[in-house]
Amino acid sequence: MSVTQLNNLTTQVRRDILRMVHKVNSGHPGGSLGCTEFLVALYSEILTTNKQFEMDGVNEDLFFLSNGHISPVFYSVLARSGYFPIEELNTFRLLDSRLQGHPTTHEGLPGVRIASGSLGQGMSVAIGAALTKKLNNDIHLVYSLHGDGELQEGQNWEAIMYASANKIDNVICTIDLNGKQIDGPTDDVLNMGNIKSKFEAFDWKVVEIDNGNDLESILKGMKVAKSATGKGVPVCVLLKTIMGNGVDFMMHTHAWHGKAPNDEQLKIALSQNPETLGDY
């Protein structure tokens, strides 16, 4: 995809996110907007995937969303990558929908391989899938995304310890470093200190992307991350993002973590992100 196409897709995904959460007056726009560029880049340029979705994902890259509350961006990117019709985004969080509040395999939505929402579980799952890839001699990679606040869950550190001890070098776990969680800045809620040093102390290779809302920086950083795989160490990407990116009044605050815009706010937000590829 050209830079223009990627930018257009990013803007359209933002519109999808805003319209989805506005319609049902619930959902998590802040983290979704912050990770829009990353997921657009991942699904458009980084992942090698098969045309037909199959749960087993043999001979293709896999992606696991551990911080399941940013389902709006996940659903929009999946739909716009062809996993299911974009019209289905209309059903987000409604009764009988495959687009549950948090992603699930339970309703059979193509593109989703694990339920997430209760935090801290995705890294273990990614490692398990990576082990199966090794057993199957499948050279494709396993990617995952985690919130920074999510690192407060202890299971992550069990997984981080396991991955380096067992040389799981076919995973790239990305941490969305937006510095915010529900109750406020991560530094105030539970200061996690130097996350980079912590991963390095657990013998992971760490790749930093300082502008995680810039497509070119993401593509460049993920290329470095990919080249670091297969070398006997797990790879972590620290993706510095701005929560609420792309909507001025939602940026740099945790206020929009789990809050939908009202009619007036939606209007302003959408005016900052003009339609590019057509609304669903």
List alpha helices for 25-97, DSSP H.
29-34, 36-41, 71-80
As measured in angstroms, the least distance from the Cβ of 125 to other proteins is 4
Structure token pair of residue 30? 């802040």
| Residue 225 CA from chain centroid, whole number | 16
Interaction of residue 159 with other proteins, rule CB under 8 A: yes
The least distance separating other proteins from the CB of residue 236, rounded to whole angstroms, comes to 16
Residue 123 interacting with other proteins (CB under 8 A): yes
Instruction: Using CB under 8 A, count the residues that bind other proteins.
Output: 40
Using CB under 8 A as the binding rule, whether residue 94 contacts other proteins is answered as no
DSSP label of 132 = H
Q: Per CB under 8 A, which region of 14-22, 114-122, 202-210, 231-239 contacts other proteins?
A: 114-122
In three-state secondary structure terms, 112 is coil
Burial (0-12, 13-18, 19+ Cβ within 10 Å), 186: buried
Residue 270 is a binding residue for other proteins (CB under 8 A) = no
Smaller CB separation from other proteins, 44 or 124 = 124
Q: What is the distance between the alpha carbons of residues 216 and 221, in angstroms, rounded to a whole number? A: 8
- Nearest to other proteins of 163, 218 (CB atom): 163
Q: Interface with other proteins includes 107 (CB under 8 A)?
A: no
Q: Does 6 contact other proteins by CB under 8 A?
A: no
Q: Does 61 bind other proteins (CB under 8 A)?
A: no
- Contacts of 155 by beta carbon, 8 Å cutoff, 6+ apart: 120, 121, 123, 124
Q: Verify binding: residue 145, other proteins, rule CB under 8 A.
A: no
Bridge-based pairing state of the strands 184-185 and 180-181:
antiparallel
Which residues on neighbouring strands pair with residue 177, listed in sequence order?
A: 240
Selected from 70, 125, 218, 219, the binder of other proteins by CB under 8 A is: 125
Which residues contact other proteins by CB under 8 A? Answer: 55-58, 62, 64, 104-106, 113-118, 120-133, 135-136, 138, 154-155, 158-159, 161-162, 165-166
